[in-house]
Structure 1
Amino acid sequence: MTASAITVMIIGMVIIWGGLAASIVSAVKKSK
């Protein structure tokens, strides 16, 4: 694997986890 491929994977993971965290936080705020 090249460094650019690893970087793309890391960025993708950050975006996915960031989206999950945002959806969870918004759901918690709505339930309250």
Structure 2
Amino acid sequence: MTAVAITFLILALVLVWGGLIVSALALRSRPEVERYPAGGIDDHREDDAPIVHDT
């Protein structure tokens, strides 16, 4: 492998694994949504209707 290929391999690994680690730490610090946007209340309408199949 050339030096350019190794450099891009290391860069790609840092981006992928670094993003995974950063996102895991962000989820660890705030695991739940503090506030939902307006209209985000579940009214369970789909629970009352019968199941419709396309067959």
Show structure 2 runs of 5+ residues with no match: 33-55
Measured in 1, the distance between the counterparts of 2:8 and 2:16 equals: 12
Larger radius of gyration: 2
| Count of matched residue positions in the alignment of Structure 1 and Structure 2 | 32
* Alignment of 1:13 onto 2:9: no
User: What residue identity is the alignment partner of 1:25?
Assistant: L
TM-score normalised to structure 2 length: 0.52
Give the corresponding residue for 2:28: 28
Show structure 1 runs of 5+ residues with no match: none
| Structure 1 position 31, deviation (Å) | 2.2
Q: Which aligned segments of 4 or more residues in structure 1 are displaced greater than 4 angstroms?
A: none
What is the RMSD of the two structures over their aligned residues, measured on CA atoms? 1.4
TM-score normalised to structure 1 length: 0.79
